[in-house]
Amino acid sequence: MLTETPWDLAPHLPWSHFTSPLAKWAVQPSFVIAEYTFYLCTAIALVHALRRGRAYLLVFVAALLAGTANDIIFMALPVVDNFWQAQGTIMLTPRLPLYIPCVYICFMYFPTVSVWRLGLPRLAQAALTGLLAELFYAPYDINGAKFLWWTWHDTDMPIAFRLLGAPIGSSLWVVMFVATFAFLISFGTRKDPELRAPTIAKTMVMVMALSTALMVVQMNVIQPLDGGVPGPRGLLATVVVYGLIVAWGWARREDRGGHPADRLLHRAVVLYYLVMTLVMAVFDPATHRSESMHQTYGPCHVEAVDIMGFTRYQYVCAEDLDEDYNFSCAPPPPAMSEWYTVCGEPHRHFPTWMTGVAMLSGLGILLFSFLLAGAPREEPPAS
């Protein structure tokens, strides 16, 4: 029996709800650092939301629920299913580490409430939030694939185009999903600044029901630029269109005067980017190995069709592998295995990866510093 749903507790697999951080450090040290960095940043986001009030708590809870639901939806659909998480020190199911909901909170909450401070019109606010969310997510996306924090499907077309190992489809998903989330959240925070219970309930239902659906609509509009899959033309077009929307809104933003810097959020963001940069600088992916669920291992070149009608190979095999892992530290698994060990690939060109993560992190620190160190807005837009 193959585990296809993320909520299946799969007693036939050798997973555990809890693993010693020391044991995990011995095989995947960078992952332990990332996992607990997200726990810390999530705790900071919660403290920040509790201090700031209902609108911020709404974003925190909505990010947790809508983000986790999105992850589960795409893991649960066999024709979409194209990624497998490593085993964290705390696992909810064999496929869902506890830190993953924290990742959603971080890359949705931090950009959303930071952009609020600018007083942009609703559409421009959403567009900038989506772009900023991708800038937050990108170093994690690059590190994650390189250090086996998850593994991708070997031949899935929607993730075939990669930038520093991270699928362009992943980048587009973050931009569009978080922009949609921020746009839907704004209906509640602008219509009812006091955020009474009925408004909170309606906003939560709207966010949960529409965030993923509207993201998929946007993806379907942009994918024809690259032959029906997420690709470089689509990414460039999205950045340009979203950037033009931001530029349009920038001239119409509301100036409500200055206010003190948001030091709590600012320090958390700087810490996050520094950790992501140090992970790439300090650790060697060749020393990492991940025993977890992965794409089912089986015979080469067995064709299957994905949700878009594209052909991909159903199984991964050692003889025809084009991912950032190998089987050098463990024997290839038996046929039809979904739980096995993969080994990290050494850097092929470390300066490129290091420069990419460092530049993204540096730009992220600059932009978040601009937003959180004296931007002109503290509360959610009221008009």
Q: How many CB atoms lie within 10 A of CB 320?
A: 12
Reading the block at residue 130, the tokens are 């989506």
Output the CA torsion sign for 100, 42, 373, 180. Answer: positive
Tell me the pTM.
Answer: 0.93
The closest of 248, 251, 254, 218 to 123, measured between CA atoms, is 248
- Rounded to 5 degrees, what are φ and ψ at 312? -140, 165
The closest of 111, 175, 164, 174 to 359, measured between CA atoms, is 164
The model's pLDDT over 62-105, given as tens digits with 9 standing for 90+, comes to 999 999 988 887 777 665 678 999 999 999 999 999 999 999 99
Reading the block at residue 64, the tokens are 């947790």
The closest of 353, 340, 311, 290 to 160, measured between CA atoms, is 311
Measure the CA–CA gap between 382 and 144, rounded to whole angstroms. 38
Reading the block at residue 48, the tokens are 């920040």
Reading the block at residue 298, the tokens are 């089986």
**Region 119-133 average pLDDT:** 96
The model's pLDDT over 38-71, given as tens digits with 9 standing for 90+, comes to 999 999 999 999 999 999 999 999 999 999 988 8
Measure the CA–CA gap between 248 and 178, rounded to whole angstroms. 20
The model's pLDDT over 265-290, given as tens digits with 9 standing for 90+, comes to 999 999 999 999 999 999 999 999 99
The model's pLDDT over 187-202, given as tens digits with 9 standing for 90+, comes to 877 777 788 888 889 9
